[in-house]
């Protein structure tokens, strides 16, 4: 039996993603709610407006260490770290490129089927995290205005946009 996704329509959130010099990865959501997630070392701190901050250790989900470490490796260009957790495929050229990362660890593969990074020149345009059931989270980078995204937020339209294809 196949169950429907948790949400019927895409949830659009705006914010910032920052990789700090100390290795911390910080995700700030500014709309439609306010939330900050800080991943530093073995610890995660989640702060949501109106709630008390929550902290937990990655010991609760050790298979996520590879995924989190790999984001830092992508941002710093650490190929050795990427190869530790993923098999890597690249294609394209300066005008448009894609990096596909497939987990090599069986535990991580149960939660994450693929990390896809699309971009052009020296800038990433999208990070797409695809779960084993096909659900995905697409992070469009450097988009200041919702109008810059495709009119349809269907997965196919977002994939084309991430690839640099214009809407027809």
* 3-state SS class at 130: strand
pLDDT band, residue 168 (cuts 50/70/90): very low
Average pLDDT, the chain: 84
User: Can you name the residues that pair with 123 across neighbouring β-strands?
Assistant: 120
How many CB atoms neighbour CB 138 within 10 A? Answer: 19
pTM value? Answer: 0.82
Q: What is the pLDDT of residues 50-108, one digit of tens each?
A: 999 999 888 776 656 666 777 778 878 888 988 888 999 999 999 999 999 999 988 88
Strand partners, 29: 15, 35
């Amino acid at each position: 039996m196949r169950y429907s996704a948790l949400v019927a329509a895409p949830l659009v959130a705006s914010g910032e993603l920052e990789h700090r010099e100390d290795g911390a990865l910080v995700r700030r959501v500014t709309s439609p709610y306010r939330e900050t997630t800080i991943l530093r070392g073995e610890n995660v701190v989640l702060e949501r407006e109106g709630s008390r901050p929550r902290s937990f250790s990655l010991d609760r989900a050790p298979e996520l260490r590879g995924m989190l470490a790999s984001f830092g490796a992508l941002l710093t260009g650490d190929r050795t770290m990427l190869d530790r957790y993923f098999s890597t495929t690249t294609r394209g050229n300066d005008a448009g490129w894609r990096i596909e990362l497939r987990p090599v660890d069986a535990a991580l593969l149960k939660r994450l089927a693929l990390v896809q990074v699309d971009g052009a020149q020296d800038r990433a345009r999208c990070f797409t995290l695809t779960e084993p059931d096909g659900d995905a989270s697409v992070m469009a980078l450097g988009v200041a205005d919702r109008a810059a995204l495709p009119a349809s937020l269907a997965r196919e339209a977002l994939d084309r946009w991430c690839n640099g294809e214009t809407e027809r």
